[in-house]
Amino acid sequence: QLQLVESGGDLVQPGGSLRLSCAASGFTLDHYAIGWFRQAPGKERERVSCISRSGASPYSADSVKGRFTISRDLAKNTVYLQMHTLKPEDTAVYYCAARSGVCSAITVNYNYWGQGTQVTVSS
């Protein structure tokens, strides 16, 4: 059973911080690229960040660059998305996804998906 479970989503005020977690089971992260995606109501799912199977060459979308940081803890088999200076436009359901290859911007290239965690940025 290959599974990804997101957690950490919450209601936060603009300018606040939040850390999302993506716990993997049934496989180990050192053989998979892990991407973070988000989808706001009525909008297309977009990739916001990705980390390679080696842990190198992290990717961040221009909209979150300098504010979001992706990292992983192999001992816990978990990938994190640390988010700072959150804005209302960051409000979305955040998903993590895995593929046995390099980081990709194409959603269908990812074989495994979590169920998502809601992030709401509002006063």
The span from the CA of 73 to the CA of 61, in Å, is 22
The span from the CA of 100 to the CA of 14, in Å, is 36
| Mean pLDDT of all residues in 80-108 | 96
Tell me what the pLDDT averaged over the chain comes to.
95
Report pLDDT digits (tens) over 47-57.
999 999 998 87
Report pLDDT digits (tens) over 4-48.
999 999 999 999 999 999 999 998 898 899 999 999 999 999 999
The span from the CA of 23 to the CA of 96, in Å, is 9
| Mean pLDDT of all residues in 108-116 | 95
